Structures are given as C-alpha cells and as structure tokens.
Amino acid sequence: MKIKPDIENLATLDFEASSLSEESWPIEVGLSWLKDGEVKTWSTLIRPARDWDLSDWAPQSAAVHGIAIEELKNAPTADNVVGDLLQNLGDRVLVSDAPEFETRWLSRLMKAGSQAAIPTIEDCHRVSFASFSGFALDMLYEALERSSAPHRAGPDSARLAQAWRKAMQY
C-alpha cells in the first residue's frame, strides 16, 4: 500500500484562455482544494493586461468555454487576481491535469501581476498515482470519467479535487 501524502496540502489549478496558441493569455483562473474533507473553490475572470495581444482571441476557444471577450472588460486586473490567487493558495502545492498549458498561463498572469516567482505546477496524474492505489485509484479515475469537464476554471479545478475526495473514502 502506498503512503498517501496530505491531499489537503495540494490545490488543483485550471485556466481558461484566449486560445491554445503560444501567444495565448489567461482569461479565467480557478483554484480548488480540500479542507476538512470538503472541496473549496475560488475563481475569477481576468481583465487582459495591456501587453497581451488581443488579436490572439480565438472564437473556437470562446465557443468551448462560453466566455465573451466583452465580459473581461470589467474583470479584476492581473494585480488583483495574482494577490487573490496567492492568498487562496497559501502554502499548498499547485497541481494540474495540463501542467504545460497551466504553467504558460500562470507565468503570463504572474508577470502581468508584477510577481517574479512562479510556483511550480505538479502533474495531477503523477500525484494521484503517488497518493492512491488499488480500488481508491480506480474510484478516483471513475469519478473523473463520470463527470465531464465543464470548461470553466472553477468547476474544472473542483472536478479534480472532488475526484481526490472520492478516492479518500477508500
């Protein structure tokens, strides 16, 4: 049996973005974690920073996440989002099911929010296999399989945390 790390020291991260191109920028961030066995989630839209190329907006991406670019005009600035993100993260370790993309968008957000240090993002699957085994691991992946990704940052990050919660019952 594997030794389970403290899952409550982890936070799942998800972004929605302008597109999937190399020049894309984050438009929404979601963070979820377990506290006393319950899933807690924080998320917010992100106003585009001045140096983000607005021509990178992809209608195909907007069709997936359902966020109109007009909704971002009154969203919190990167400075505010970074402050709230770091406050909600605390000393938890970031985890994602798409760390390559999330790292790109987190880097852009942190830079726009004048933060030099960028937290490392661990791979959700690697963490899950290190944390759970046997039936618990099966239940984790069954929970993910049975709940489709809504393609919104808060619910997507919560989906991963809920799967961990399910696995912890076994």
Domain range annotation of the chain: 7-168
Asked if 1 and 28 touch (Cβ cutoff 8 Å), the reply is no
The CA–CA distances, whole Å, from 133 to 17, 37, 97, 128, 147 equal 33, 19, 18, 9, 21
Q: Helix (H, G, I), strand (E, B), or coil: what is residue 39?
A: strand
Residuewise pLDDT in 10s, the chain (170 residues): 343 458 999 999 999 999 999 999 999 999 999 999 899 999 999 999 999 999 999 999 999 999 999 999 999 999 999 999 999 999 999 999 999 999 999 999 999 999 989 999 999 999 999 999 999 999 999 999 999 999 999 999 999 999 999 999 98
Please give the backbone phi and psi of residue 122, each rounded to the nearest 5 degrees, phi first: -85, 155
How many whole angstroms separate alpha carbon 19 and alpha carbon 59? 8
Torsion sign (Cα): 143, 148, 149, 150: negative
Q: What is the pLDDT of residue 6?
A: 85
CATH homologous superfamily for the domain 7-168: Ribonuclease H-like superfamily/Ribonuclease H (3.30.420.10)
Asked if 9 and 92 touch (Cβ cutoff 8 Å), the reply is yes
Q: What is the pLDDT of residue 2?
A: 40
Asked if 4 and 132 touch (Cβ cutoff 8 Å), the reply is yes
Q: What is the pLDDT of residue 1?
A: 33
Q: What is the pLDDT of residue 5?
A: 54
Segment holding 162, helix H or strand E: helix 153-168
